[in-house]
Amino acid sequence: MQLIPTPLKDVAILEPKVFGDERGFFLESYNEATFQKLGLPSRFVQDNHSGSRKGVLRGLHYQLNPAQGKLVRALRGEIFDVAVDLRQGSAQFGQWFGAALSAENKRMLWIPPGFGHGFLVLSDFAEVAYKATEFYSPASERSILWNDPAIGIDWPLDGEPTLSAKDAAGSPLADAETYPDSAQL
């Protein structure tokens, strides 16, 4: 597994070793010892799986307490996956990074606790799976407005995205509850 740093400190692209032949392919998407060697969390408590059609935008989601780290990958299709630094003490607060994740490139994005997460489906349909470091807590879930100009995400949109009511009503970054002390994450 290769760890590829991104411009956002602590966010990383993970590229697994893929072994392929005429039958198909094999890859190791998670290995506790490998993650520990790479300095990544090796404890995940929940796996999530979603399916969405082209143009669906999910996010920007995060959870205050307990904060979740996420390891995201596309099992089918292609997405534009985004992480936004929401740690108030960070020099990169409010900055974002996005990467194309697809069934074809088999890359994963590590999004640590303290970051918001969202993705846009680029293919006709995509299935996305992610591992979470903490259990889902509906009471502490929050949503930042996907198109907040203060963040300025350059979504590769072809028209208007399809949003849930919750995501359409997300808070601007200036009004959002964020993480006051990244040392506690």
Active site residues: 61, 130
Which residues, at least 6 apart from 5, have a Cβ–Cβ distance to it below 8 Å? 12
User: Measured between alpha carbons, how far is residue 183 from residues 10, 29, 75, 88, 89 in Å?
Assistant: 13, 28, 33, 11, 9
CA separation for the pair 71, 73 (Å, rounded): 7
Diameter of the chain by CA atoms? 53
